[in-house]
Structure formats: C-alpha cells, structure tokens
C-alpha cells in the first residue's frame, strides 16, 4: 500500500477545512507532471506541486483531484501503469489505492476528468483553479476547460487562493518539526563549507560539498546553491571562480527534506583564516541588524516594520563607518539605504523555499491592510504583512556593494545627503555579505529553526582556524 507523507487523517482534515471555506462549484487541484529534459523518458527530477502535496500528500506525477462542493465528493484522477510502464518502472500502486491511502474514496482516469469538466462548463457551474505555473499544466488545463492559455486567468479563483494561503501559512506542529529537520541539514551543509574552504579552491568544488550533504540525508537542494566570492550579486549561480586569500565567500544554500520542506540559510566567511578589518566592520553591521530584527519578531507586528527597523540598524552601522551620513531613520525614509541593501529582509518558507509564491506575492506576503510598494528596494520585500503565530520565515539582512549602482547613483548625486560617495568608491570591489536564518513565530515571539550554526565573527574565525 502506498504511504502518504503524513498519516491519512491529516489530509482528510486539511481538505475538510479548505472545503468549509468555499461555497459552491468544483475545485480542481493539479499535481505536477514529469518534465522532459530532451525526450519523454529522460526527465528532470520530479517535484510535486506543493499545494497538491499539502492537501493530497501523494508524491507522484500525473495526478489531479477535484472537490465537488455541490455534491460533496472528492475524486482523484490519474492513469494506472500499463504493463509496458511496469517493465521499466516496477510495480506501481493503482490510482484507487493512492486515493484510499489519503482518504479519498473515488478515483477515475483523466478522460473522465475531461468529460466531468466539460459537463460542468455546460451547466455553467463555477470551476476554481489556482494560478498554473508549469507549461504542461497550462496546456492540459486549456484543453480541459476548452479555452486559451491566457484565458485560464478567468478560472483562477481569488477565494480559493486566499483560503489556501490562510491554511498553509500557519504551520502545523508536524510541519514545524519537519522544517526543523530541513534547517538542521542545511546547517550541516554550511558548516562543511565553512570548514572546508581553502584558498586556491574553485567555487564549484565547495558547492559540490554543500550539495552532497543534502543528498546524503536522502533530501536534495531546496534551490540552486549560491556559493560565490561575488556575494554582491544577490542570486549568483556562477561557480567558476577561484577563491583567494582576502576574498569572502557567500554561501546561500538549503536542503529540501524527503517530505519536501525547505531550509534557506546564508553564511559569509573569509577564504583565509580571518576577515579583513573592513570585512569585520561590515559583517558586524549585518549581524546586528539580524539580531535586532529577530528581537522584534512576534505576532501582531508587520514584517514591513521589522524590515524598516533592520534597515535603520544597517544605516546606523554604515554611518558609524563613514559610508553613510545624517540621520539613519531619515536616510531609510528617503530610501538611501537601498544603495547597500537592495532587497527585502525575508520571506515565508515552508514546502517551497519562497513559500506559496506561485499563489501570488501580493496575497502571500501582503494583506488587505498593506499593499506592496513599487519603490526600488521596497518592491523586493516579499513579506510585509502582520505576523501570526505559526508563520515560518527567513530573516536575511545584507550589505551588497554593487559597482554599477554606485556609478549610476553617483552620476545623479542621488541621496548625496546620506551617502558618502568618496569613501564608498574605495569599497567598490568589496563584494557582499548576507546572514540568513529561519524562524517560526510563536505565541510570544519567535524561535530559531534547526540546530545552531555559528555566525559571530569569533565563531566563524575559530572554524576557519580549525578550532
């Protein structure tokens, strides 16, 4: 018998709760397909859709489920393996067995799904879908709903999206335990990188060490490893540089467990045994911003406010070393800190590293009280809304010295009341620093997820010295 990820009753209750929030029509949730690299049987590693995993718990390609709200029934759709399939892939559970394993009593094949949807359209019954993001699923949906891919938007249900977010954003204890595991494996990946980096090594050699630990834990990466001496490039996936004495390495990497929960940690450390004095100063500024942000985490505070306060801490530190000037809070109000911190303080994390972002950042990271800003820097804050107990999120302040941005802004003398361009120019090859940890919001504050991973200057240098 097929084993769902959590026990059967978990999925029965989650689906019951979702259906209680919706009134009528048909909810259609699609699992993902295998996706070909070059021909049908040579596929990228399969990754199930996270919402499908959350409500159905079956980690297999080619499935779809409907909840018929009017007739109060659930049906799982898919194709049973043929004898040809079984020769290549071994015995497979029947779709009916998969359905029963998660408490769904009815199952059928995909042709039946197509005819059921055609009949529902004919009868003008509402059909609710989530925003599709995989080309394969867009093509299938357009065919089943007898519409074009752009017109699929008209079937996307905001009520369904909001209901799914409201449920998935509050993590259950069992999910938090699994995320703790994901973050602990992620911490092991980072510890190995900090201990094994040597001057003269290639970035890809160290990236291989990081990925091997995810695989050795029967997991995989929750996103492609960022491991670079050019940490100022926020999502830098190039691994071809040689790491040299004097450089810092920024490693942003996380594990995805077999249950598909993600970790997302970042550490920045020297390739040599010690940070330079400039690196020490800016490292401590980022660390203080992180500590301050974490001290503010609690239910009821807007994450945008936590971001703002972290930005003020960064600006204060940058003022102390002479890179910024004037009043830090005013500098942040004006947006001058975005010369150094161009992105957001963090995001939701869970079954996806940027949890639920396929459902739309404006609804996942914001709410009816708070709309997302379109300003430079602020527009990259993925999470702004009021925190609730049970949210799991990242806190990831950084300082990124981007030469191209210095040149653009300096030419316009942008924010010159707050930025010391003379000194900043001497930092243009500095690189970037990010420190990132993952937290769960508790009833009174927050708790860090996963085992502890060194982040103070002294701890990092001790590791670099093999202590």
* CA terminus-to-terminus distance, the chain: 50
- For residues 410 and 60, what is the distance between their CA atoms, to the nearest angstrom? 53
Q: Which residues in the 152-191 window bind ligand GLY by CB under 6 A?
A: none
Task: Quote the CA–CA distance of 34 and 63 in Å, as a whole number.
Answer: 11
CB of 383 to ligand GLY, least distance (A): 11
C-beta of 348: minimal distance to ligand GLY in Å?
11
Name which of ligand GLY, Mn ion, none residue 223 binds, using a CB cut-off of 5 to 8 Å depending on partner kind: ligand GLY
Name which of Mn ion, ligand GLY, none residue 74 binds, using a CB cut-off of 5 to 8 Å depending on partner kind.
Answer: none
Q: What's the closest the beta carbon of residue 353 comes to Mn ion, in angstroms?
A: 7
Give the one entry of Mn ion, ligand GLY, none that residue 59 binds, where binding means its C-beta sits below a cut-off of 5 to 8 angstroms depending on kind. none
Q: How far is the CB of 291 from ligand GLY (least distance, A)?
A: 18
Work out the angle at residue 334's Cα, subtended by the Cα atoms of residues 331 and 339, and round it to the nearest 5 degrees: 70
Neighbours of 319 (CB within 10 A): 18
Interface with Mn ion, residue 59, by CB under 5 A: no
d(CA 227, CA 210): 9
Question: Closer CB to ligand GLY, residue 33 or residue 436?
Answer: 436
Query: How far apart are CB 252 and Mn ion at their closest, in Å?
Result: 4
Cα–Cα distance, 202 to 142 (Å, whole number): 46
In the complex, the smallest distance separating the C-beta of residue 434 from Mn ion, rounded to whole angstroms, is: 7
Selected binder of ligand GLY within 175, 264, 316, 361 (CB under 6 A) = 264
Q: Interface with Mn ion includes 394 (CB under 5 A)?
A: yes
Other CB atoms closer than 10 Å to residue 39's CB: what's the count?
7
Chain centroid, CA 15 distance in Å: 24
DSSP 277: H
256 contacts ligand GLY (rule: CB under 6 A): no
Q: Is 252 in the site for Mn ion (CB under 5 A)?
A: yes
CB 367 within 8 A of CB 388: no
Residue 252 touches ligand GLY, criterion: CB under 6 A: yes
Question: 411 φ, ψ to 5°?
Answer: -60, -35
Q: Does 396 bind ligand GLY (CB under 6 A)?
A: yes
DSSP assignment of 182-248: HHHHHHHHHHHHHHH--TT-BHHHHHHHHHHHHHHTT-EESSPPEEES-TTSTT-----PBP-TT-E
Site membership for ligand GLY, residue 223 (CB under 6 A): yes
> Scanning residues 19 to 38, which ones bind ligand GLY (CB under 6 A)?
none
Q: How far is the CB of 277 from Mn ion (least distance, A)?
A: 27
Number of residues this chain uses to bind ligand GLY (CB under 6 A)? 7
Binding site for ligand GLY (CB under 6 A): 223, 252, 264, 347, 353, 396, 436
Binding residues for Mn ion (CB under 5 A):
252, 264, 266, 394, 436
């Amino acid at each position: 018998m097929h084993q769902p990820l959590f026990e059967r009753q978990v999925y029965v209750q989650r689906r019951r709760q979702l259906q209680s929030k919706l009134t009528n029509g048909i909810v259609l949730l699609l699992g993902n397909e295998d996706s070909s690299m070059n021909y049908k049987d040579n596929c990228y590693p399969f990754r199930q859709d996270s919402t499908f995993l959350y409500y159905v718990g079956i980690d297999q390609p080619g499935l779809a489920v409907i909840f018929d709200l009017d007739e109060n029934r659930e049906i799982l759709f898919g194709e049973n393996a043929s004898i040809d399939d079984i020769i290549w892939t071994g015995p497979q559970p029947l779709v009916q067995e998969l359905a029963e394993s998660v408490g769904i009593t009815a199952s059928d094949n995909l042709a039946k799904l197509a005819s059921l949807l055609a009949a529902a359209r004919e009868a003008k019954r509402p059909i609710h879908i989530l925003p599709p993001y995989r080309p394969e699923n867009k093509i299938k949906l357009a065919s089943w709903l007898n519409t074009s891919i752009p017109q699929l938007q008209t079937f996307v249900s905001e009520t369904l999206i909001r209901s799914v977010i409201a449920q998935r954003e509050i993590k259950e204890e069992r999910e938090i335990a699994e995320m703790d595991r994901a973050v602990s494996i992620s911490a092991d990946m980072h510890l190995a990188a900090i201990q094994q980096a040597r001057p003269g090594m290639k970035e890809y050699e160290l990236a291989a060490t990081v990925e091997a630990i995810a695989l050795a834990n029967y997991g995989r990466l929750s996103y492609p490893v960022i491991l670079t001496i050019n940490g100022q490039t926020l999502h830098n996936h190039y691994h071809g540089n040689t790491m040299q004495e004097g450089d810092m390495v920024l490693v942003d990497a996380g594990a995805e467990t077999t249950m598909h929960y993600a970790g997302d940690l970042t550490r920045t450390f020297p390739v040599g045994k010690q940070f330079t004095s400039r690196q020490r100063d800016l490292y401590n500024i980022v660390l203080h911003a992180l500590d301050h942000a974490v001290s503010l985490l609690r239910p009821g505070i807007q994450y945008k406010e936590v971001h703002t306060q972290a930005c003020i801490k960064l600006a204060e530190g940058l003022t102390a070393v002479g890179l910024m000037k004037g009043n830090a809070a005013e500098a942040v109000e004006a947006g001058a800190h975005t010369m150094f911190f161009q992105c957001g303080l963090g995001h939701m994390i869970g079954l996806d590293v940027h949890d639920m972002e396929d459902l739309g950042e404006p609804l996942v990271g914001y709410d009816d009280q708070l709309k997302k800003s379109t300003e430079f820097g602020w527009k990259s804050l993925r999470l702004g809304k009021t925190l609730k107990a049970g949210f799991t999120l990242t806190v990831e302040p950084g300082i990124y010295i981007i030469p191209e941005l210095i040149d653009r802004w300096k030419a316009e003398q942008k924010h010159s009341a707050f930025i010391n361009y003379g000194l900043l120019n001497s930092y243009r090859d500095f690189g970037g620093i990010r420190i990132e940890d993952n937290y769960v919001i508790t009833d009174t504050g927050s708790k860090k997820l996963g085992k502890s991973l060194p982040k103070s200057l002294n701890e990092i240098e001790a590791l670099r010295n093999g202590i």
